[in-house]
Chain A
Amino acid sequence: MTVLVVVEHDRGTLSPATLEALAAARTIDPVVHALTLGSAADILAGELAAHGAAVVHQVHHDLLSDFGPEAWGESVAQAVRALQPDSVLACGTDRGNEVLAQAAARLDLPFVANVISVDVADVWRVTRVRWGGSLLEACTLTAPTKLLTVSHHAFEASESPAAGTTASVTVDLDPVLARTVVAERVEREAGVTLATAPLVVGGGRAVGSAEAFAPLEELAGLLGGVVGCSRAVTNNGWRNHTDQVGQTGTRIAPDLYMACGISGAIQHWVGAMASKKILAINTDPEANMVTKADYAVIGDLHKVVPAITAEIRRRRG
Chain B
Amino acid sequence: MRVLVCVKRVPAPGARINITPDGLAVDTAYLAFTTSPHEECAVEEAVQLVERHGGESTVLTLGPAEADEQLRYAASIGVNKAVLLPIDSAEWDPQRTATAITTAIRTLEAADGPFDVILFGNESADAGNFQVGVRVAHALARPIVNGIKGIEVDGDSLKARRESDAGVEVYALTMPVVLGVKEGINLPRYPTLKGRLGSKKIEVGQVVPEAVLGGQQMVSLVQSAEQVSQTIMLGNGPEAAPAVVDLLEELGILK
Interface set of A (CB-CB < 8 Å, partner B)? 10-11, 13, 15, 67, 69-70, 73, 94-95, 97-98, 101-102, 104-106, 109-114, 125, 127, 129-143, 149, 179-180, 182-188, 198-199, 223, 225, 231, 234-235, 237, 240-242, 244, 247-249, 255-256, 263-266, 273, 277, 279-280, 288, 290-300, 303-304, 306-308, 310-312, 315
* Chain B interface size range: 35 or more
Alpha-carbon separation in the docked complex, A131 to B130 (Å): 12
Which of A138, A183, A256, A296 contacts B219 (CB under 8 A)?
A138
Chain B residues with CB below 8 A from A143, complex form: 215
Which B-chain residue is minimally distant from A112 (CB atoms)?
Answer: B216
Chain B residues close to A by CB (< 8 Å): 13-17, 19, 26, 36-38, 93-95, 98, 122-123, 125-131, 134-135, 137-139, 143-147, 159, 163-174, 182-184, 187-188, 214-224, 227, 229, 231-245, 247-248, 251-254
Q: Are A312 and B254 in contact (CB under 8 A)?
A: yes
Chain A at the B interface: SS class: mixed
Contacts of B127 in A (CB 8 A): 130, 137
Mostly, the B contact residues are mixed
CB distance from B133 to the nearest CB of A (A): 8
Q: How many A-B residue pairs have CB under 8 A?
A: 260
How far is A312 from B250 in the complex, measured between Cα atoms in Å? 13
Q: Which of B15, B217, B242 is the most central at the interface, judged by chain A CB atoms within 10 Å of its CB?
A: B15
A317 to chain B, nearest CB (A): 13
Q: CB distance B26 to A135 under 8 Å?
A: yes
- Smallest distance from the beta carbon of B209 to chain A beta carbons, Å? 18
Measured CB to CB, the closest approach of chain A to B244, in angstroms, equals 5
Question: A132 contacts which chain B residues (CB < 8 A)?
Answer: 128
Assess the B215–A109 pair: CB atoms within 8 A.
yes
User: Chain A contacts of B233 at CB under 8 A?
Assistant: 295-298
Give the residue of B137, B164, B223 whose beta carbon is less than 8 angstroms from that of A135. B223
